[in-house]
Structure 1
Amino acid sequence: MKSEAQSKAEIEQLHRTLEKQAAELESKNRELEIEAALEKVRERAMAMHKSEELSEVIAVLYEQTSLLEFAGWGCGISIFNKEENYLELWISVHPEKIQPRRYKIFGQDHDLIIKLWDIWTKKKSNQFIDLIGPKKKDYDDYVFSKTELSQIPEQVIQFIRSKPNSFASFTPMKCGLISFYDSKSSLSKESFAILQRFAKVFDQAYTRFLDLQKAEVQAREAQIESALERVRSLTMAMHTSEDVGKCIVRMFDELTALGLSKNARTGIGIFNQENENMEVWTASRNQKDEFKIDIGILDMTLHPLLVEARKSWKSKTPFHQYILEGDDVKRYFTAINSSPNYHAQVNKQHLTERVYHYDFVFNHGILFSFTDAPLPEEQLQIFQRFSALFNQTYTRYLDLQKAEAQAREAQIEAALERVRARTMAMHKSEELGEVAAVLFDQFEALGATPERLNIGIVREAERIIEWWSTEQGGKQIDHLFKGTIDEPTTISKVFSGWKAGKKSIEIDLSGQELKEWISYLQKELGLPFDKKFQRDRRVHFACCYSHGMLLVSTPKPLPEDSKVLLQRFSNVFEQTYTRFLDLLKAEAQAREAQIEAALERVRARAMAMHQTSELNEVSMVLYEELIKLGFQFISCGFEIILEEEQVLNVWNHDFNQGQLSHFQMPLKGDNTLKERYEAWKSRKAIFLQELQGIALNKHLRLGAPENVKNEKDLISIFQILPISALLIFQKVVSMLLEIAKYKLITRRFCFVSPRYSSRHTPDFSIFKKPKNRQERRRSKQP
């Protein structure tokens, strides 16, 4: 049998074995608990799909370490960013069941923050910091006032501040630190060992998190780029201000798809360099979730928000924020709703107590947004990218507008040149009808469509305006229309505006006034009017120039650009028409010099006469000079009236044979001669006779020269002299064209023709140039 000592020893050995096995079992159970906790952390980390889920991983981490009974009142994870010099702190606090979130602490402005950076960079293991009494309070004051930790819910802040002491334990990881906080002591070595294992698991989880984050960033970037590209493609196609509005709507749609609140109001403002105004396009959604666009001009002095926005643009500050609070919200939107040139109406009943306004500046203006809550950092960056995009495309839009304006200007200049060329080619006023048609064609080719175009020439002394008009539709009318300036509905108003020096006049006719104008147009003016163009309204727009006006008629007012265009046509027409008048004056002066030279040659030959037979040579010179001046006639010569003998002594030049025919006719041989004699007696300056049929045959039998006896129609022009007449036989057809010139020029030629006394003796003294005024007066006496 075993001795009692042996039995006792065996029992003790058994107890030791049992204790060892119990310890091993306890250790294994602890290990199993730790592994289970690690697995749960690992499992949650591996299940992450978004970076926001990192907060749930930290919550699980705190929960599991609490179950392992070594976590105090809180735990956290610090992620360090060397490039931007900040650390991200994810913190979970017991007993508050609040989901952990990220807070940034920038810089290294506190001793504890500096020490945390040192622990991580040097990878120091099992470090602890004891914050006792004043040190704890000082650190709390710093982080809860000068860092993002101030955004922690107030009850959490109060819970942390309630702890008089804080013992913080830290274990480094690749990306940062795991920290645990307790009010009594730091972690034991065993707990630090467990914490290091959690650190390794978290490192794995964070590596996966970074991969997820990278993938999310890439996916988000692709989403943003797609949105930018859709906006870019639309803005690249901008041609008008309406297109800008469409781009704003699309931009707002893309921003809301990227996370911007649908309650936001977003838009573009383009500043005016010359004044305090801004052209605004604002997009928003109404209560039916439909897009709404408001466009207008906003006075940037209406409210301090607008003043500050303009200042930020002028100073090229990339980003500007203004917060409307309390009564300032109502003041701002009341000013906006009352703005005369910006018709957006904001429902003030739906406004919040605080409205956040953001400006993102680009070269020509701002991209702005109004929101009910602060925009997160990512949204701000997205706005800045859209601002930069719009800056590029709007610059291109301005370049395109400039190129289109230059092309349009070239087109306008070409049209003006055509009008200028046609007007410069005018030789007589009758061509103004064709000029009016050219004006209409060019005006229409530039996009303006008048119903009718009119050129008005003011004849103020005659109290009329001469109108050269096109038909309705632009077809040329070769006819002059004269309208009295007393016509009340249109012409008097146009004349008054022209007389007052106005550049343009617009007359809007309707009702009875329109009926009166159309009646005057047809019955008095004689201008054709097609009833298919008749409307309930007719608008006349006239641009004045020095001699009259250009007037277009349309069924509705002309657009402003068409009015400017007509003014330019008016300016060109004025220049060329003035040149036309100068040309007419120059041609008249040249014609006068030509006539004077002809007169001088006839005068010289007449002055050289010594006998009556030389009248043949004088009449030949007279004939040649008149032919040079453009006249066409059959014969010319002189008639000497011998009143005592009641005889008409005629010298007529036969141009076919170059001889002077001399014959006599009774003064009152027939009605023709009688009328001629009476005209001489009454001293008419010019006397014209038109002979046809029986009267012509009877007259020719009295002794007309052979070269005119066979003519069927004649017009005789007599320049009456005191005792004689200058006679020209002319065909009727030619006479109709030159009658006005004959009246003037033949009268002048009479003063260089021979003069005879009652005794048939040639008196050549008339050809001598009078030496003084008295002698000139005597030379004019009979």
Structure 2
Amino acid sequence: MKLTSQLEEEIKQLFDDMWSAYFNGDLDKWASYLTEDCKNIGTTQEETFENRDEILSYAEAVLPQMKGVVELRPKKMDISALDPYIMVHEISDVYIKVADEWKFYAELRASFILQREDDAWKTCHMHGSYPDSRTVEGEAFAFNKIVAENKKLQAAVLNRTLELEEKNRDLEVEAALERVRSRAMAMQHSNELADLVAKVFEEMTNLDIVLTRCIIWIFDPEDRSTRMWMANPEAETGAESYFVPYHDQPAYQSALKAWDERNPRWVYDLQGQIKDAWDDKLLIETELAKLPEQVKLAMREPDSVILSAAFNNFGALQTAGLEPLSDKHLDILGRFGRVFDLTYTRFHDLQQAEKQAHQARIETALERVRARALAMQVPEELKEVASVLRHEMGLLGVEELETCSIYINDESSGNAECWYALKDIRDTTSAMVSDHFALDFGDTWVGRQMLKLYRAEEMQTSIVMSGENRKEWIRYCAEKSPVLQGYYGEVIPDRTYHLYKFSHGAIGAAAAGDISEESWDLLQRTALVFSLAYSRFKDLTQARIDLQHLKEEKGRAEEALQELKATQTQLIHAEKMASLGELTAGIAHEIQNPLNFVKNFSEVSQELLDEMKEEMSEGNYKEVEIIAQSVIQNLDKITEHGNRADGIVKGMLQHSRTSTNEKEETDINVLADEFLRLAYHGLRAKDNSFNANFETDFDPDLPNINIVPQDIGRVLLNLINNAFYACNERQRVASAERSLSASAERSLSTYQPNVTVKTMAENGNVIVKVIDNGNGIPADVIDKIFQPFFTTKPTGQGTGLGLSMSYDIITKGHGGDLRVETTEGAGTTFIVALPAGSREF
């Protein structure tokens, strides 16, 4: 490629346009002179770019500093052809505008490589730099200045390094805090707090904080006790929790004071006699005595231990070490403490949820015991109840209750019967040993202690069975109950018998020693269950006695028994007839008309047949044929009205039968009309004085809806009956007050009871309204009407379940809504909303 004058002019014009676009801020135009992969090397380290986008991004960042205040004045341009490229060297003076005056700033040396692209020359590589302005005449490099600048730079680098190390340290701490925070928020059970304190110990150790152990204190504000969650490096099992009651050790008192003040930085030097007393108190008299021996030895070994803690709302995060923590480490401890202050809510919520779940499991277990007790058929099954109780305790994790026993006292003899169950320690294939035997309290020392409890006012006791007293009791029980013989073998361990009384007896449980408050609570609650179950036991026992008496008197009572059976049959029949009467009362009116037609046409047909016999005897067969045709027509009418009556009865029986919970397409208008008439005529049949108007306002365009017709029928019947009752009550009250008030008499003369059933479509639902003009519902009870067993009717006239069951049928069974609108003194409207679609709920 040859460099012509025309090409040189073209290149110069290109550079004029390119620099003009750049310094005027038109970067889009300026970027169009660069290839996409254009590279740029500038005077600083940051000015190294691999493509047009990077160059453009840098230009956008620095251009605001130069726009309008920087000007490039070319001095020399050298253009060379390097086929297929063009090399351009440009030397220019850079001027800057200061106080409206252009001043020389520096000389710019730039090199460009251009290539032909899209019929235009574009820059694919460029480099620019300024001469070293720090040199003086005769210097190749500004050595002295560079040395000075290097010292200054080293100092800046050192300061920056320290800043970065501090920031890096802070980032490490924050990362550790975030790991602890994440572990805390990931807790699924409250006992995972043990894992959390172990995590804190690990993270603080990784931050080069020298610790011997790490502890979370959770204080009880009521009794000032604490629960310690401790991470011990000497232990293999990880962190565990220990209860520490309130005590007067100086370190504990100092910690309590710091907690009261929510002190974020507490340091206590535990040494000498104070440390010895502290160690004895914790490691002998509290649950910390359960710590592994190597941990207790490690805690006692040093003469002095520095305790450091950050106290917060729930307690403290505490560390122990042989040396005091630095201020920075104390600050880090405080930051960890603040994390725990925020995440304690998670622990507390889990704890509450677990308590509630545990209480629910206890209730379920007691319900199983209660159900088994109430299901007893013979008194001997009480030992199975004891087995269920022992099994349920095992499922609840209350394994300290080895034996579960039920004692029923015989007040007349002063003796008792025992039903027991215990875990079989002799045979792993047998889960439980259970039996029943009678005992005399006076035969053994343990029995006499039980008798003292029964005669005392206290409800519970713990009988320590040891030595000869224990052996005597086991031998006595084995004699009474052979399945216990050889149970313990040669060595009979000491045990403590824990008893809680109930009516006419007690619940007993044997354990290796004292039992927890939870186990006592479980015994108490179980005793309450057996207070109820004792009635069942008593009934069964009495039933057995009565049965024996009946067998002894069987011969003399045979006739009475037969009479009793006959009477029972009559009572059952009477009950069936009464139920049938309740059902037929409502539909009698509906089938009266077709039955009247059947009766009338039957009588007419009888008369026609008599007439036909006369005509046949006279030989008038033409007249006989006419009469026969009339009889046939009458029979058709009888069949028609008989089918009508049959349809009414079948329809009513369909709606009154037990629900199968199967949904089917139903015309709600027909259903509502049927139950409106059924309710009205049923009430009329029960009370001849009852009278009220009833109306319907049905939307004829309603679609059939997918419902359980028996259930919705019961809802409608309940609401309509309530509406008629409200109207009747208003009329009855007004009538009773008529003699006392002229205004009441006028009100009665104008009041006309009325019930309206209305249907319509609204917002994708089918609406059924039951409207009455009764007294309305008082404001103070309106919020209670859908509660089970709530009723405003007099005792014996209402169960309080109608509206509650109706609400459940509509909302839970059909995904609809049941609400009420009422005005006192004016009336009430119940509104049923059912989905018009075919959704299943």
Relative to the length of structure 2, the TM-score reads 0.45
TM-score by length of 1: 0.48
Higher gyration radius (CA): 1
